[in-house]
Amino acid sequence: MDWNVFLRELHVLGTVLGVGGSTFAEIFAIKFSKDGKIDIFEHEVLRICIGVLRLGLIILTFSGLGLLVLWRMRLLGPDVFYSPRFLAKMTILLILLLVALLMNFRLVNLKLGSTISTASWYAAMILGIWRGLDLSYFVIMFGFGVFVVLVYFLLEYARKTYLKSK
C-alpha cells in the first residue's frame, strides 16, 4: 500500500468517526431531551459521542496534512491548493473548530452550535467526495449557508416530532 492510499484510508476513517459521532450526538441529544433533563448516564453517552468526533477530527487533520505534503511533492500547485472546492472545505473546517470552541465555553446557543457543527461535518464530507464540483468559492459557501438552515429545520422537526410522541 503506498502513502497516498494509506492516507486516504485514514482520511475516510476520520470522516466516518466525525460524521458518525456528530450524527449520534444529535440523535441522542434529541432522545435524552424528552424528560427535560440529562442524567449522568446520558451525559456520559454524549461525552463518548463527542470524544469519537474529536478523535475523528485529529485523524482527519493528520491524514489531511499528509495528503497535502504528497500534493506538494507532486507540485500540484495553485490549481489544486487554491481550488474553490478545497478552499471552501478548509473554511468549513475552520467554522467547525470555532463553533466547537464557542460551544465548549457556552458562548453560543447549543442548539444553533450543534446544527452548524453537524451541517459542517456533512458539508465537508460531501465536498471531499464531490470531485467534479465546478462552482465558485462563494457559490459553494452560499450553498453551505442554505444547507445549515435546512439542517436546523430538519433537526427542529425531528425534535418536535419526537417530543410529541409517546
Partner 1 sequence: MTNTLIFFLVAHIFLGTSGIIFLTAYLLSIFKKEADFKWLKINSFLALLSFIASWITGGYYYTSYYGKSVKPVILKGEFSWVHSILMETKEHVFLFLPFLTLALFAVTYFAYSDFAKDKKLALSVAGLCFTIVSIALAIMLSGIVISGAVGK
Check residue 41 for interaction with partner 1 (CB under 8 A).
no
Upper half-sphere CA count for residue 106 (Cβ side, 13 Å): 0
Using alpha carbons, select from 86, 22, 6 the residue that is nearest to residue 57: 22
Angle between helices 137-164 and 84-104 (to 10 degrees): 40
Check residue 80 for interaction with partner 1 (CB under 8 A).
yes
* Residue of 81, 130, 142, 153 that binds partner 1 (CB under 8 A): 81
* Residue of 10, 16, 27, 66 that binds partner 1 (CB under 8 A): 66
Using alpha carbons, select from 75, 68, 77, 53 the residue that is nearest to residue 125: 53
Decide: residue 137, CB within 10 A, 0-12 exposed, 13-18 middle, 19+ buried: middle
Check residue 107 for interaction with partner 1 (CB under 8 A).
no
Check residue 12 for interaction with partner 1 (CB under 8 A).
no
- 30/67 with CB nearer partner 1: 67
Check residue 153 for interaction with partner 1 (CB under 8 A).
no
Check residue 84 for interaction with partner 1 (CB under 8 A).
no
How many residues sit close enough to partner 1 to count as binding (CB under 8 A)? 22
* Residue of 2, 5, 35, 105 that binds partner 1 (CB under 8 A): 105
Separation CA 158–CA 134 (nearest Å)? 33
C-alpha cell at 28: 441522542
Binding site for partner 1 (CB under 8 A): 58, 61-62, 65-66, 68-69, 71-73, 75-82, 90, 101, 104-105
